[in-house]
Structure 1
């Protein structure tokens, strides 16, 4: 009898843990309409046959978002780059090349990590583009796993880590085996942002590419 009770308790605990990631995402979507943070991003490429270890590169900058559908990544190191979604258009500005790429935001963001943070407003909406499930707790965080329903895209899996209900990590894997881990710090939830803060104007003299 004791073994049966123990097994039931363990099963219940496992079910509860699996629910935490979804609960954290649902709470994040419901309670946080905007935010600011700094971030560090580590991109690791698959190890080649002639390499002893995988190659990686680290960058850093700041991130801010405003629902629905507005966000800004400003990379400061090692190279300056800005990615802005203004609600209609996704802009990418490469400072060194003085080049701007402009794409329709609707076409570009359907099943991307950014959609989980800035575009989604509830679990039902996100579930149309992603298969969502909670992962096992680790590293002091609760995890959510999001797999795009469109299997033809480059994105394979996003793992979202929440620490005490606050967005802490995006762990992204693509179809080429590349892994990108963004770690967020210094969060300001519900920061006083407005749509005009996400307006982007290509710099004078920049070449603008519209694929």
Structure 2
């Protein structure tokens, strides 16, 4: 008991020190954060952001609507209110939320209110989802900066975050999958089918035309 009594002051001091460090360095205490965006086809958004240093994971899913546990067919069929979206988990000590938002705008056509590229309809519209007033203010700031840089009106809405429903397993990491799928180009591995789809849809060509050298992920354009 005497040994334990002697140790108590030391343990208490250590706990206080740890608490002060965590309180004084909130970024260090927060190992990850989440940004949810909609940018048209979620395969493409996931592929783009998983290439960004500091991004831990990007997950395809659905959010912004009223239907619970929606399927891909439900969402693309219309009437659910959901967007095809991507939930990006990142390390804020390596990449900031602001930087990710800047990359997001320069990876989409934020002037298009009817969808993105060859994918048309409400579920393919762009959007930014925020969880609090701080995130909302930052999103508005980056939107204004992007609009000034682009010189055109940005129609991407900033919406309150809602339940994020993870998409079906076959949609996750589609861009690098090796399962055999049947496409209009014939039987292809997912990774090859994705490349063909992205090129045919005109995503990179349009983003490069819109943003020029600032286009975030439009390789080869």
- Normalised by the length of structure 2, the TM-score is 0.30
- The structure richer in strand per residue is 1
Q: Which has the higher contact order (CA 8 A, sep 6+)?
A: 1
- The structure richer in helix per residue is 2
- Normalised by the length of structure 1, the TM-score is 0.31
User: Is the radius of gyration larger for structure 1 or structure 2?
Assistant: 2
